[in-house]
């Protein structure tokens, strides 16, 4: 099967490009709008654990809001990032949550380099990303595995594979101290946007998904769910300098003067 925009990793790694998992500063990873605290860290699995379907990262469930995620991944040293791998469970999964509510794999990701100050508005509209990656639906991987399995001489061999998306232009990813990933929607949200008349920036992926989204309530969004994010490249041995920063994890009333009776977090993070 011919594929554009990505390559298939069939249990091997190119000599000059290895997993960067050991270069990730996991203690400093954070994700905005994650359904569970530190869920973003848990999908940055080791290379050998990349096929594990659990744990996953999900956006918070709100049928009226875009299922956005913003994952910030710092490295312990400057690295050259050659490719990224992102796995979702399905274009529409009914087993993503304990209550059986649907989730959906991401369809695009905006990639930012060396920006730890991003918020959703900046990532969505204000800043040009270093790259925009259009993701193949998870069902595409099943077709690849079937093709490889059918052509294998040993029919008892179990074939596993992931998709690697090369990051272009390569010059933008030569000295990365951090990568931030903005997931603005999923395959199900594309269907919802079409119902609402918003259109879609990635119609080709939606058509390729070939999934029946009729079980979704009209006009409602379902959470984005991701099971794995990984990077390949090489280290540069240039250690990242420590930057002291203070992050406000919970707004304090005394620091944000508002009219009496209007204090709350209806439009923010809690």
pLDDT, tens only, 4-15: 455 545 444 444
pTM tops 0.85, yes or no:
no
Q: What distances in angstroms separate CA 200 from CA 151, 185, 203, 256, one per listed residue?
A: 36, 10, 6, 37
Residue 205, Cβ neighbours under 10 Å: how many?
20
> What is the rounded CA–CA span in Å between residue 43 and residue 59?
13
- Is pLDDT of 172 > 80? yes
Q: What is the mean pLDDT of residues 36-64?
A: 92
Query: Distance between CA atoms of 144 and 131, rounded to whole angstroms?
Result: 25
Confidence of residue 36 (pLDDT cuts 50, 70, 90): very high
Of the two residues 98 and 94, the one the predictor is more confident about is: 94
What is d(CA 246, CA 167) in angstroms, rounded to the nearest whole number?
A: 31
Count Cβ atoms within 10 A of the Cβ of residue 173 and give its class: 0-12 exposed, 13-18 middle, 19 or more buried.
Answer: buried
Q: Which of 71-75, 85-89, 203-207, 209-213 has the highest mean pLDDT?
A: 71-75
User: pLDDT tier at 222 (50, 70, 90 boundaries)?
Assistant: confident
Tell me which of 12 and 220 has the higher pLDDT.
220
Report pLDDT for 205.
45
Give burial (CB, 10 Å; 0-12/13-18/19+) of 61.
Answer: middle
| 135: preceding bond cis by omega (within 30 degrees) | no
pLDDT of residue 215: 55
Widest Cα–Cα separation across the chain: 73
């Amino acid at each position: 099967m011919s594929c554009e925009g990505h390559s298939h990793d069939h249990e091997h790694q190119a000599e000059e490009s290895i997993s960067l998992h050991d270069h990730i500063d996991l203690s400093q990873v954070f994700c905005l709008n994650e359904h569970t605290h530190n869920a973003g860290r848990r999908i940055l699995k080791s290379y050998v654990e990349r096929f594990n379907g659990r744990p996953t990262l999900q956006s918070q469930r709100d049928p009226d809001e875009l299922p956005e995620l913003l994952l910030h991944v710092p490295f312990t040293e400057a690295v050259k990032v050659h490719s990224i791998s992102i796995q979702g469970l399905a274009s529409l999964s009914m087993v993503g949550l304990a209550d059986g509510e649907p989730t959906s794999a991401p369809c695009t990701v905006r990639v930012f380099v060396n920006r730890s100050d991003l918020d959703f508005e900046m990532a969505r509209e204000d800043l040009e990303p270093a790259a925009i990656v259009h993701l193949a639906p998870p069902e595409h991987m099943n077709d690849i595995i079937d093709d490889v399995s059918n052509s294998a001489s040993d029919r008892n061999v179990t074939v596993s594979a992931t998709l690697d998306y090369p990051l272009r232009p390569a010059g933008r990813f030569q000295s990365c101290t951090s990568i931030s990933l903005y997931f603005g929607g999923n395959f199900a949200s594309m269907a919802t946007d079409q119902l609402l008349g918003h259109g879609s920036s990635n119609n080709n992926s939606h058509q390729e998904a070939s999934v029946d989204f009729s079980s979704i309530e009209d006009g409602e969004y379902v959470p984005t769910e991701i099971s794995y994010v990984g990077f390949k490249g090489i280290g540069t041995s240039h250690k990242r300098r420590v930057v002291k920063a203070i992050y406000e994890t919970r707004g304090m009333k005394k620091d944000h003067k508002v009219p009496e009776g209007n204090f709350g977090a209806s439009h923010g993070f809690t």
